[in-house]
Amino acid sequence: MTIEKPARKTLEDNFAYRSDFKYTHDNPYHDKLEVFDSFVLRDEEAESNVGKWGQLFKNEKPIEVEIGTGYGEFMMEYCQKYPDVNFIGLDHRFKRSFSVAKKLDKLEHKNFRYLRARGERLEFMFQENEVQSVFYFFPDPWPKTRHHKKRLFQKPFLNACAKVLKPGGTLFVKTDHDGYFDWMLEHLKDEKRFEILLQSRDLRNEYPEHFLSQFTTKFEKIFLSQGTLIKSIVLRKI
């Protein structure tokens, strides 16, 4: 008697890439975030604005998106330095999102929205050619081999970026992790939809004047203090 092994789960099964995905949670910070509903969208709320972000911002300025906003340093500094963009930051952590929202609420320029959402939902939050730039800084590297399937940077993510970015739009990536950087380069092999504008294993020393070297996140400060080299990739949609 032959016993069939269960089908191996695909990346789409393991993560939130499917169109029928639903957010489920029971976290008190979800309700606490409601106090910031003038600029915070939670869960599926972001997906109700596909193709309508210009209406939400009440202008047609370029849309720029940060996946994994973390403690919000880059988002806050960037928004205040570039008030002529519509910035959308997102993170799926609850307590951290609440902390970031409190800081954002105090900013002078209100050219932003914050999403308590998952990066895997990118193509369900924006329509084709709607986004000018995507920022993806210091993601969880999931270093153990059995967890590699949880890494965001692979084909479904690249598919989503290729869809939502405008022609000429840019994906900016920074990581401290050598293994994840190698993983990214491997997934970019034979990729015809993007042009590599920058590829560096030592961003700060090789490109000290580059845009990416002008902003330092909380995590980045820790890595730099430890002597860790910052790896970076910049891709442009062809």
Residues that are catalytic: 140
176 is in an annotated binding site: yes
140 is in an annotated binding site: yes
37 is in an annotated binding site: no
In 3-state terms the chain splits into helix, strand, coil percentages (rounded to 5) of 40, 20, 40
217 is in an annotated binding site: yes
- Which token pair is 124? 């369900």
- Given the structure tokens 């929202």, which residue do they identify? 101
Radius of gyration of the chain (CA): 18
Is the CB of residue 201 less than 8 Å from the CB of residue 228? no
219 is in an annotated binding site: yes
137 is in an annotated binding site: no
- Given the structure tokens 């330092």, which residue do they identify? 216
Is the CB of residue 203 less than 8 Å from the CB of residue 231? yes
Is the CB of residue 101 less than 8 Å from the CB of residue 93? no
91 is in an annotated binding site: yes
Label the pairing between strands 165-175 and 231-237.
antiparallel
Report the run of H or E that residue 98 belongs to, with start and end.
helix 94-104
What gap in Å lies between CA 113 and CA 97, rounded to an integer? 12
- 62 exposed, middle or buried (CB, 10 Å; 0-12, 13-18, 19+)? middle
Residue type, 50: V
- Which token pair is 136? 């993806």
Per the annotation, binding residues for S-adenosyl-L-methionine are 66, 91, 140
Q: Per the annotation, where are the binding residues?
A: 66, 91, 140, 144, 176, 217-220
Known binding-site residues for substrate equal: 144, 176, 217-220
